[in-house]
Every structure is written in structure tokens, then in C-alpha cells.
Amino acid sequence: MCGIFGCILREGSAVKQITEGLKRLEYRGYDSVGVATIDHGELEIRKDAGKIEDVVARHRILDMKGSIGIGHTRWATHGAPTMVNAHPHADGSRSIALIHNGVIENYMELKEELLEKGHEFKSRTDTEVMPHLIEEELKTGVSLQGAFLRALRRVRGSYAFVVLSTVEPDKIYCARNESPLVIGVSENGVYCASDVPALLPYTNKVNYLRNGEMAVLTLNGYQIIKISDGSTVERGLTDITWSPESAEKLGYTHYMLKEIHEQPSSLRDALRLQERYLNLLTTFLDRGKEVFLLAAGTSYHSCIAGSYLFSRLARLTTVPIISSEFIERYGSSVGIDSIVLAVSQSGETYDTLKAVDYARMRASTVLGITNTVGSTLTRVSRAYLIQQSGPEIGVAATKTFTSQVLVLAQMALKLAKLRGKLSQDELDEFQEKLLRVPEWVEETINKQEERVKELAKTHMDDRFFVFLGRGISSATALEGRLKLMEITYVPSLAYPAGESKHGPISVVEDGVSCIFVCPQGDSHSHILGSIMEMKARGAKIISICEEGDEQVKKLSDEVVEMPREIPEELSPIVYVVPLQLLAYHMAVLKGLDPDKPRNLAKSVTVP
């Protein structure tokens, strides 16, 4: 996610409102910043890596002239946070400045085509192809609007684009596909921004652009055009009643809830991985004599799910290991034939980085999956993948967990293909299921949140919970338990259900709530036995099961029914959502702040 802001003013300096607007969007990304303005027909761009206030001071951005401009605060997905990778990006003639939020899937092919036509690129970003594409279309003699439309029709992926150009210096062009973009109108000017918080100090009269729409902003207002056929869309302004503070969470009470609801979108971006890096990591995994999946906390739970996926799909044995245990446990045995795949949302977790350093010292190959471009993990990894979840502000990981599992699923599928472990039909079928994951998560949120709220209310005074799952669902159970403990502080237990009779079942007694994760699949028949075991000891049975699963429903006191056809291998991504919502709503009912749980930090960068 990145923060975008643009404005055309009747009076006053654009750059002042742009920098104020970007500051209110800082939660959307904060590793680099840039502004472009036009004054007397001259386009100026100032940008750099760093926080907004630092870059504004360092480059005296407030000195920029002009009553029209655009600005961007970045959360890197392609290319580390550096000056050259910061937005805005310009075309070769420097008459077009463009900012972008999203992921251009086909940027490599577009870039190669433009390179052949003599275009030169300065950055490693996907975004930079866009101003050059517009420049190329302008050469055919069409208007800037025509060139922008043609370029948009060539792009695949998610975007919120905003364009400023000396070709038409009194207009701002913008376009949206999946990444949010909202237009605002006030007495003094016309605006566009990623989110409402940036607009509220100037206007509460807004118009949300929809997917596949472009807009032209002038001092007279705005015109919305359909990208597909160039037809005009008539849609008036709506009034926003949020306070600026609540608007930062887009009306959600907490970032955690916003981030849970963002998962359909963040999962779609997790399906837009950079193919060449996915291939590179897969090649390394294929060569390793032994593969460790290294992580802490929620990321470790992703690794547990990943180990099932690598085994089931690619017949590759991997060892998930908690970062703080790695050196003591495997430090003497890892070596040049070992692959260590470190998974870390922040890319800065001390335990994970310490284990990585040790593995490198032992000549192992270190690979990385992270959400943070430019993080330490990206610098110490031989190769890495960015999961593209956007900033996660809530301390409890939610969207970054589901994206990590989806990334690992794609890697396992890629490896299965490389190793010839699945038939083409099996590969195609699983790929189709992968693409349906965002819609399953969306359906679950829309259909089950009210049900889960009731569960939270019913069980808010429970003093203890047991989370159980079998097979890959043991990862889901562990993650659901961590969410609940982290933000409601209620002691909870989670382990593979088959382990119950080896001791843990002794804590189960009348009234203890047992939450079972039981998708359809190979483990389903076993989980029925586990449910009966707990039921016989008086436990309250809460089951997360497939819609219409009468076997489980008959044994359960309460159920949350999930969409049909979700393959067991992908179930952690979808079945964790009710558990995230349960933890969140129970914390709120208890009067706790889910975004800032006691004793915890978002990134544990200390030993």
C-alpha cells in the first residue's frame, strides 16, 4: 500500500496541502516520499528515501511552486526504498510525472517493449513503465487523455495512478483498479487521494473511483470515464461523516479489524508475485539437501502450514523451526547443503536474523519471504520474495499470515511442477483453487462475522480455550490460539488434536471450550474422533467446518460454517479468518485495545 495525494487549487500552494495530506496517509507506507508540481508550465519533482518530515526538510519541498501537484508516500513492493525508486516517476522527456499504488503484473514485458523503442529507465520499480508508456502513446498524436487510456488498457494488475503533465498543465488524470482512489471537491479546489483521511481537512464531499474508471480533474470539477470503452460515468458527490481519526482506519474502529477486512485485497496482491523471484527461490529449494523454514510467532505458524504444502504438493520434506531454537537445535548440523527459508513480516525480528546470520556463517543458503522491502532480511538473503501485504499496523498479525501461507502455497505448486510431482490436470486444478482464495475469504467475512460476534459474546467470560486441528489445520489452530491469547490475554492451549491422549486432555473438563478446525479432507475422519474425545469430558465444542458438514455439526455445540470446495491444503488461509474475528471481537467486548496489546511490539527487534 502507498499513500497518494493530488490537488488543483484556486489559491495557495499545492505543496503545502500535498505534504499535509501525505502525513495523514503515512500509515499506508513510509519508506520514501516524493512530490511533483507544475508552475508556469514547468514540471518539478523532488523525492527521496526516508520519512515524510525528513525528505520534506532535506529537499526543501515546501519551497516548490505551483497550485497544482501530486505526492506519494511509499511502501515498497518492487525495488528497495531509494531516491531513484521513490515516486513520482517521469517519462524520458520529463513532461509527465506519475505516482502509483499497487502492483503491475506485466511490467517486465512492457519494459522490454519500451527498452526496444529506446526508452531508458532509472529505477527498479514496476511503476516507471507507465509514464514511458503514456509518452509512447502520445507520439501517435492522441491527446493526453487518449494516451493515458491506451496505456491503461495495456496494464494488468492493481493500480491507483495519478498523472501530472506539462502537456495539459491545468489537469490531473487518475485511474483505479483495486487500489483505492477517492476524489474530493471543495470551494478552493479539487483533490484525489488514496483514502479519505487526507481529504477531510479540506472537504467531506467525495466520490470514490471504482475499478476500471479514470477521472480528469480540473478547477471546474471532475469527469469520470470508463477505461474499457471511454464512456462517461455520471456519479455525484457523497458526504463523509467520519472524524479524521476514525477515517485513518477507513471507519473501522481498529487497524486490526481494517486489516482483517483487507485480506481479500492483500491476498490478490499476494497472487501477483514477481515470477522471476518465485522461480529463483523454487530453484534453490529444489537443490537443497535439507530445507528449514525459519520464523517466529505467527510467521512460524505460516511455516508449519508451508511444511505440509511442500510435502503434499512437491514431495519435499521441510523442517519448520522456531527462530530462537534454531542454533541450539540445528546449529551443529546445518552446512553448505542446507537451505534456510526465513519468513518474517517485518524482516527485522532479532531471533530470526540471528539464526540467519548463523546459517550464513555455516555456508547455508538463506532465502527470505518478507513484507518489508529494504528490511535487513532482504539484505542478508541470497534471494527473497516480497509478500505485498501493505503495512500492517495492528500488533497482531492477520493479513500478513494469510499472505505468507498463500506465497508458500504458490512456491510449493511451482516446486511440484519443477519436480514433476503433480500431473498437469492436478497443477491446473490447484492453480484455479489458489485464485479463488480471496473470494472465499471475502465470503467468509461477509457471511460469518455476525455469527462470530455472537460466539465472542457467548464465550467472553470463558477462562480457558483449547484450539485443536489435525494435519495442516494444526497450524490454523496454533495461529487462532495465538490471536486470542495475544489480544484478550485469555490463557489458551493449541496442539495437533491427535496429541490429546498423550497428556493435554487432562486439562479438559466440564465447560472448557474446545475450538476445532475441521475442513473436509484427509484429516476429517480423525478430527471427528478428537471431537468425541473432548465431548465425552464435558467440553463445549465449537467447530469451524464446511457448510453442511452434518457429521461435525451433530457433534458440536456451536459451529461456524465455511464456504464449500476449499481444499484442505489452502484451508489455513480461510479457516483462520473466523478465529481472527473471534479474537478481535472478544478483545473489544472485554474493553481491550486489539491494536496495542500489553507487553507486545509489532516487531521484536531485541533478544
Under a CB-based contact definition with an 8 Å cutoff, are residues 482 and 297 in contact? yes
Per-residue mark of binding to ligand AGP, 326-345 (x: CB under 6 A): ------------------xx
Specify the 3-state DSSP secondary structure of 60: coil
Q: Which is nearer to ligand AGP, 62 or 600 (CB)?
A: 600
Residue closer to ligand AGP, measured from CB, 193 or 369? 369
DSSP 345-410: SSS--HHHHHHHHHHHHTT-EEEEEES-TTSHHHHHSSEEEE-------SSS-SHHHHHHHHHHHH
Q: Give min distance, CB of 494 to ligand AGP, in A.
A: 13
Of residues 351-370, those binding ligand AGP (CB under 6 A): 352
Q: Please name the amino acid found at residue 116.
A: E
DSSP 251: T
- Does position 296 interact with ligand AGP (CB under 6 A)? The reply is yes
- Judged by CB, which is closer to ligand AGP: 7, or 341? 341
The letter for the amino acid at 548 is G
Cβ nearer to ligand AGP, comparing 32 with 370:
370
User: For residue 236, how many other CB atoms are within 10 A of its CB?
Assistant: 6
CB 66 within 8 A of CB 15: yes
What is the number of the residue whose Cβ is closest to ligand AGP?
297
Residue 604 interacts with ligand AGP (CB under 6 A): yes or no: yes
Site string for ligand AGP, 383-402 (x = CB under 6 A): ------------xxx-----
- Of the residues 32, 265, 298, 324, which one makes contact with ligand AGP according to CB under 6 A: 298
Element (H, E) at 467: strand 465-469
Phi-psi region of 66 (alpha: psi -120 to 50; beta: other; left: phi over 0): left
Q: Which of 203, 349, 473, 556 binds ligand AGP (CB under 6 A)?
A: 349
Q: Which residues pair with 178 in a beta bridge?
A: 159
At its nearest, how many Å lie between ligand AGP and the CB of residue 601? Answer: 8
How many residues appear in the chain? 607
Instruction: Tell me how far, at minimum, the Cβ of 352 lies from ligand AGP, in Å.
Output: 5
Residue 167 in grid coordinates: 502537456
Pick the closest to residue 169 from 23, 41, 53 (CA basis). Answer: 41
Give the residue from 114, 105, 106 showing the smallest Cα distance to 133: 114
Residues known to be catalytic: 2, 602
88, 131, 297, 374: which one binds ligand AGP (CB under 6 A): 297
Position 475 contacts ligand AGP (CB under 6 A): no
User: Strand, helix or coil at 175?
Assistant: strand
- 67/346 with CB nearer ligand AGP: 346
Closest approach, Cβ 30 to ligand AGP, in A, equals 16
| Min dist. Cβ of residue 256 to ligand AGP (A) | 10
Q: How far is the CB of 295 from ligand AGP (least distance, A)?
A: 6
Q: CB of 181: closest distance to ligand AGP in angstroms?
A: 29
Nearer to ligand AGP, 121 or 350 (CB): 350
321 binds ligand AGP (CB under 6 A): no
Question: Cβ contacts of residue 495 below 8 Å, gap of 6+?
Answer: 468, 474, 477, 478, 504
Cell of 60: 526543501
Question: Considering the rule CB under 6 A, would residue 293 count as an interface residue with ligand AGP?
Answer: no
Shortest separation between residue 523's beta carbon and ligand AGP, angstroms: 25
Q: Single out the segment in contact with ligand AGP by CB under 6 A; choices: 27-35, 75-83, 95-103, 297-305.
A: 297-305
CB contact burial 15-35 (16+ within 10 A = b; e otherwise)? bebbbebbbbbbbbbbbbbbb
C-alpha cell at 319: 523442517
Is the preceding peptide bond at 504 cis, omega within 30 degrees of 0? no
From residue 25, alpha-carbon distances to 98, 249, 489 in Å are 18, 10, 31
Among 486, 546, 561, 595, interactor with ligand AGP by CB under 6 A: 486
Binding segment for ligand AGP (CB under 6 A), chosen from 12-20, 179-187, 293-301, 408-416, is 293-301
Considering only 93, 188, 246, 603, the residue that binds ligand AGP (CB under 6 A) is 603
35, β-bridge pairs: 46, 71
Binding mask 129-168 for ligand AGP (x = CB under 6 A): ----------------------------------------
Q: What share of the chain is helix, strand, coil (3-state, %, to 5)?
A: 40, 25, 35
C-beta closer to ligand AGP: residue 403 or 513: 403
Contact 514, 468 (CB under 8 A): yes
- Contacts with ligand AGP: how many residues (CB under 6 A)? 15
Binding-site ranges for ligand AGP (CB under 6 A): 296-299, 344-346, 349, 352, 395-397, 486, 603-604
